[in-house]
Amino acid sequence: MRKPYTLAIAFIAGMALFFTACEEDDGGEYQPGEITTYQEHPPVKNLTYEVVDDLEGDPGGGIYLTWDSPDGATPEEYVVSIDGIDQTPTEVTEDYVYTPAAKIEVYAVYTDGRSTPKALEFKAVETELLEVWSSKDPSPDHPSGLGFGSSGFAASYAMSFPQNWPFIDYYVDTTVSLASPDLRTPEPMNDEHNTSCSQTGTYEKLNVVKPCGGVYHDRTGIVKSDLYGLWLDENDNGYTSDDHFAKAYVIDVQGLKVTLKLAYQRTPGLRWVITEEEKVGIEED
């Protein structure tokens, strides 16, 4: 019969072997019995924005951000990130953004890391392909009007049905020009006075349309491969914070048929029409 102290030694040795096996390092994988803790960094609260003038004083070209400090925490500073690129840190709860962005994020920064972000989306809504015809086209199946819905997508509308008129923001007239709906004769389709202007560069890199003013016209000739900025002034009262902006690229013109690609900014008053978060450049005119 074994002595009691012999059994005790064997038991202790076995337990030591067990714990050694459990604590063996296997490349950082979670081990049985391990307790993992995560450091939380409280984010900012109540992130809001206001559309403001750009650095040149032109309306609709910038964003003014404000937010509240996190609950129960004191960050060292805050960082505003524009499509993943950090701006200069700030110690106050406000900042301005003048670079067009699809997404703006705000972080609270602490000595040992940063919080999760609070984000705002400003990416324009794209309509990849829209076909419209000159109002000179006699076919009732060929719509001449186009309009942007509350979702930001564009749709075509037949002008031959008066019930469509309130939804039409532009139409292709008999000269194959992009025209404001209030120019239709003998009867205007609605009271909106929407205009357009020529833009240089490419559709992809055009991130902000030209400032409001004399460069916009209520009738603009449509040319294949040309690029246009659109200013929707629904109340015909000059720039106000409830106006909308968009860009249009002419994919093709075949006789009286026009094929367009469009991007519409849903944020009222903002001239940004960026469609991609990762940009290789900025073109304004």
131 shares its domain with 258: yes
- The answer to whether position 58 is within a domain reads yes
Domain count, the chain: 2
Q: What's the mean pLDDT in 128-144? A: 95
If asked whether residues 98 and 158 sit together in one domain, one would say: no
* Structural domain ending residue among the three candidates 70, 100, 121: 121
Q: What is the pLDDT of residue 277?
A: 62
How many degrees, rounded to 5, is the angle at CA 254 between CA 248 and CA 256?
85
Residues 142 and 246 in one domain: yes
Would residue 114 count as lying in a domain?
yes
Same domain for 186 and 96? no
Separation CA 268–CA 148 (nearest Å): 13
pLDDT-based confidence at 24, cuts 50/70/90?
A: very low
Q: How much is the pLDDT for 86?
A: 97
Residue 75: give the domain boundaries: 45-121
Q: Which domain CATH number covers 87? A: 2.60.40.10
Band (234; pLDDT cuts 50, 70, 90): confident
Instruction: Assess whether pLDDT exceeds 60 at residue 9.
Output: no
Q: What is the mean pLDDT of residues 18-36?
A: 42
Which pLDDT score is estimated for 7?
45
- Are residues 255 and 236 located together in one domain of the fold? yes
Q: Inform me whether the pLDDT recorded for 133 exceeds 80.
A: yes
Average pLDDT over residues 89-98: 98
Flag whether pLDDT at 4 surpasses 80: no
* Domain final residue pick, 72, 104, 121: 121
Domain membership flag for residue 147 = yes
- In this predicted structure, the answer to whether residue 273 has a pLDDT above a threshold of 70 is yes
Residue 14 has pLDDT above 70, yes or no: no
When pLDDT is cut at 50, 70 and 90, the band that residue 54 belongs to is very high
Q: What is the mean predicted confidence (pLDDT) over 249-275? A: 98
List all residues 6 or more positions away from 71 whose beta carbon is below 8 Å from its beta carbon: 42, 45
Claim to verify: residue 150 and residue 200 sit in the same structural domain: yes
pLDDT at 280 over 60: no
**276 — pLDDT class (breaks 50, 70, 90):** confident
In the predicted model, is pLDDT for residue 25 greater than 60?
no
Whole-model pTM?
0.83
Q: Spell 113-138 as b/e; 16+ CB within 10 A means b.
A: ebbebbebebbbbbbeebebbbbebe
User: Which of 103, 121, 139 finishes a domain?
Assistant: 121
Handedness of CA 234, 245, 148, 83 (dihedral sign): negative
Whether omega before 186 lies within 30 degrees of 0, making that bond cis, reads yes
Residue 187 falls within a domain, yes or no? yes
Average pLDDT across the chain, whole number: 88
Question: Residues 114, 137: one domain?
Answer: no
Residue 82 maps to a domain: yes
Residues 49 and 130 in one domain: no
Q: Is residue 234 part of a domain?
A: yes
Residues 51 and 87 in one domain: yes
Same structural domain, 129 and 219? yes
Residue 278 lies in a domain: no
Most confident of 18-32, 81-95, 267-281: 81-95
Plot region of 174 (φ>0 → left; ψ -120 to 50 → alpha; else → beta): alpha
213 or 10, greater pLDDT: 213
| 159 and 116 within one domain | no
* 238 belongs to a structural domain: yes
Q: Is the confidence at residue 279, as pLDDT, over 80?
A: no
Report the side by side order of strands in the sheet with 195-199: 125-133, 257-265, 244-254, 227-232, 195-199
State the DSSP H helix or E strand holding residue 146, giving kind and residue range, or none if neither.
strand 145-148
State mean pLDDT over 136-165: 95
Q: Are residues 175 and 156 in the same domain?
A: yes
